[in-house]
Amino acid sequence: MREGRPPRPVARIEDIPSLRLSDRLGKVSAWSLATLAALAAVCALYLARELMLPIVAAFVVGVMLSPLARRLEALRVPRAIVALLIVLGVALLIGLVIALIVPRVSELTTGLPALVASLKEKLQVFDGLIRFWHRLSSTVETAGIAPTSDAVSLPMPGLDWVPTTLGVLLPPITGFLFFLVVLLLFIAKWPDLRRGLVMTFASRDSRLTVLKILNEIESGLARYLLTVTVINLFVGAITGVICSLTRTPNAIGFGALAATLNFIPVVGPMATFVVLVLVGVVTAPTLAQGLLPAAGFAMLIVVEGQFVTPTIIGRQLELNALAVLLSLAFWTWLWGPIGAVLSSPILMVALILKQRVHVEVEEEH
């Protein structure tokens, strides 16, 4: 700078068009990379669902049951024995639920002819529509465009169903066994994994942050599991009472079915409602009496879904109804019914991480 000349102002970065354009391109590039990474992660989770689903389910259940494992370990029970006891308890509970539900499903499957006959007798409102259909079909036949009515020969029963049945049953059975093994190892090694995850970070503040996040995830998932289990047990018990009062057979089994399916948000209660409608129409002497169990269950679910669960869970976890529905749709599409069960815990973990990161950012500012 020469003497006698005033200093020239230096242009700011915001005032230079080329630099502003490069900044925008950088943001677009960053968002594009993030979108591509998210799509790649979704594709990987979908393609590897048979492997990832038991692992994620075991991790979620293991974290939920980690407070119970710590309490048993505080009673001087070895960690390996604690893990074995918890896994055996989970397996027995799932086996008990299956034993209560499978006979009901089998009854519905084998009773389809009786269901059709009962519906034909009780739904007399549609007799006019059926007569109209018969007249229309007879008109089509006289026009000469009716399909051929050649008898179809049914194949004789053989052993061809064995490979198909094994192909259907083996993946769920192997997946369940893999889930139990991963759950056993996860509960046994979770303290070491937790310590190693915390010690991965160098600074003391980062370690404290990770430790707080893990504690919040453990307590939140355990509280969620306990609360939802108690609520669903009450739903199952009241459903059993409703079925008993309306003289629906196997009231205990349908109560267990309602309690189990209620772990799946939205879809589970709808499935239970449909089952109660079908069973009531078949077993009750009249159509009105057959709809009573489903009507009582619908009132129960409305009260539970609109008042009880939001009051107990919503205040503690602040789960948004829209977020729950979107998470349910996404994980059901990605991983099926088990994904629907895991949708709320996964959403909870994401919300806890979001809240903790937001708190840390505010503390830094």
What are 285-309's pLDDT values in tens digits?
Answer: 777 888 889 999 999 988 887 777 7
> Which amino acid would we find at residue 258?
A
Residue 129 pLDDT exceeds 70:
no
Residue 267 pLDDT exceeds 80:
no
d(CA 107, CA 110): 5
d(CA 31, CA 203): 30
Residue percentage of the chain with pLDDT more than 90: 9
Q: Stretch 254-273: mean pLDDT, rounded?
A: 84
- Please state which of the ranges 4-13, 182-191, 260-269 shows the lowest mean pLDDT: 4-13
d(CA 365, CA 83): 43
- Please state which of the ranges 84-98, 286-300, 350-364 shows the lowest mean pLDDT: 350-364
Closest-CA residue to 226 (of 312, 321, 149, 106): 312
Look at 356 and 245; give whichever has higher pLDDT: 245
- State residue 320's pLDDT score: 66
Residue 95 pLDDT exceeds 60:
yes
- State residue 148's pLDDT score: 47
Neighbour count for residue 10 (Cβ, 10 Å): 6
- State residue 84's pLDDT score: 93
Which contacts (CB < 8 Å, 24+ apart) does range 108-117 have?
Answer: 108/275, 108/278, 108/279, 111/282, 114/282, 115/278, 115/281, 115/282
Closest-CA residue to 266 (of 316, 321, 201, 220): 321
Give pLDDT tens digits for 137-163: 666 555 544 444 444 444 444 455 556
Give pLDDT tens digits for 307-334: 777 667 655 555 666 777 788 788 888 8
Reported in sequence order, the residue ranges of the chain that DSSP labels E, i.e. its strands, are none
d(CA 321, CA 329): 12
Look at 260 and 99; give whichever has higher pLDDT: 260
Residue 257: partners with Cβ closer than 8 Å, 6 or more residues away:
100, 101, 104, 236, 272, 275
Residue 30 pLDDT exceeds 80:
no
Neighbour count for residue 325 (Cβ, 10 Å): 13
- State residue 335's pLDDT score: 86
- Please state which of the ranges 36-50, 127-141, 197-211, 319-333 shows the lowest mean pLDDT: 127-141
Q: Residue 18: pLDDT band by 50, 70, 90 thresholds?
A: low
- State residue 238's pLDDT score: 94
d(CA 256, CA 275): 13
Average confidence score pLDDT of the chain: 77
Q: Residue 122: pLDDT band by 50, 70, 90 thresholds?
A: low
Give exposure, 241-268, as e/b (b: 16+ Cβ within 10 Å). Answer: ebbeebebebbebbbbbbbbbbebbeeb
Phi/psi of residue 9, nearest 5 degrees = -65, 140
Look at 144 and 115; give whichever has higher pLDDT: 115
Q: Residue 93: pLDDT band by 50, 70, 90 thresholds?
A: confident
- State residue 329's pLDDT score: 83
- State residue 114's pLDDT score: 62
